[in-house]
Amino acid sequence: MEKMPKKEKAPRTLQGVVLSAKAEKTVSVSIERVVSHPVYKKIIKKKMTFLAHDEEKKCKQGDLVTIRAVRPISKQKRWLVVNVVKSTQKVEVPQ
């Protein structure tokens, strides 16, 4: 009997908003999801924050990004920024 080759799982990807891009090559990404309470059936928003590695420093605060789960990069970083979906343009208004 031959063994079937194992199928590799696709890495977990999430989409969220950059909260902070102050650190060197690291961004803080907030993921928000909407779930229904199992008993009361009320719609609840749940937020989680992940630290993601941004090698090219292309993310700014407020950008919508896609992140992917990777091997541990540092003590808290286990995510990698794949691409910037929507970039924010900050325009300064003269006073």
Rg (CA), the chain: 18
Tell me the CATH number at 50: 2.40.50.140
- pLDDT tens per residue across span 24-44: 999 999 999 999 999 999 999
Please count the structural domains in the chain: 1
* pTM of the complete model: 0.79
Cα–Cα distance for residue pair 63/86, rounded to 1 Å: 6
Segment 57-77 mean pLDDT: 95
Kind of pairing, strands 79-86 and 26-36?
A: unpaired
DSSP, residue by residue, 13-46 = EEEEEEEE--STTEEEEEEEEEEE-TTT--EEEE
pLDDT recorded at residue 74: 95
Full residue range of the structural domain in which residue 49 is found: 13-86
Segment 50-73 mean pLDDT: 95
* Residue 90 pLDDT class (50, 70, 90 cuts): low
- Residue 27 domain flag: yes
